[in-house]
Amino acid sequence: MVETVLRKRIEILADSPLVRRVTAAIDAVGITGWTILPVSAGKGREGLWHEEHVTGTDKALVLTVASLDKAAALADALAPILTTHGLLLTMWDVEVIRGNRF
């Protein structure tokens, strides 16, 4: 069987104008990669929302995988804007192959 290593999968839902700030934080803590996925609609505590190119409130999901230490550093780096800018950050344990890449 292939050997796996425990890492954290991190997803950050953010308004599109904040994506550069999120990816800059990812880079700053030494996480080596990220992926940005467009998000077209959803529902939260404040109700339904959908992409809105006119007002610039469309959202994106930033996905990355990191070591436990780097995941904690990223959460600390983003903590000041999680509430003020309405970001949603989730992370959970995943097993990866070639753990040295994360």
pLDDT of residue 86: 84
Is residue 8 a contact partner of residue 90, using CB atoms and an 8 Å limit? no
Residue 67's domain comprises 5-92
Spatial strand order in the sheet of 35-39: 35-39, 59-66, 5-15, 88-96
Is 98 a domain residue?
Answer: no
Domain assignment of residue 47, yes or no = yes
Residue 101 lies in a domain: no
Q: What pLDDT score does 51 carry?
A: 58
Q: How many domains does the chain have?
A: 1
**What is the CATH number for 26?**
3.30.70.120
pLDDT at 93 exceeding the cut of 90: yes
**pLDDT confidence of residue 65:** 97
The better pLDDT of the pair 41, 72 is held by 72
Exposed, middle or buried, 29 (CB in 10 Å: 0-12/13-18/19+)? middle
Q: Is 102 part of a structural domain of the chain?
A: no
Of 38, 19, 33, the C-alpha closest to 85 is: 19
Model confidence at 98: pLDDT above 90: no
The answer to whether position 41 is within a domain reads: yes
Contact 9, 99 (CB under 8 A): no
Residue 60 lies in a domain: yes
With a cut of 60, say whether residue 81 has pLDDT above it. Answer: yes
Residues 16-57: tens digit of each pLDDT: 899 999 999 999 999 999 999 988 777 777 666 665 555 556
pTM, two decimals, is 0.85
CB 31 within 8 A of CB 22: no
99 inside domain = no
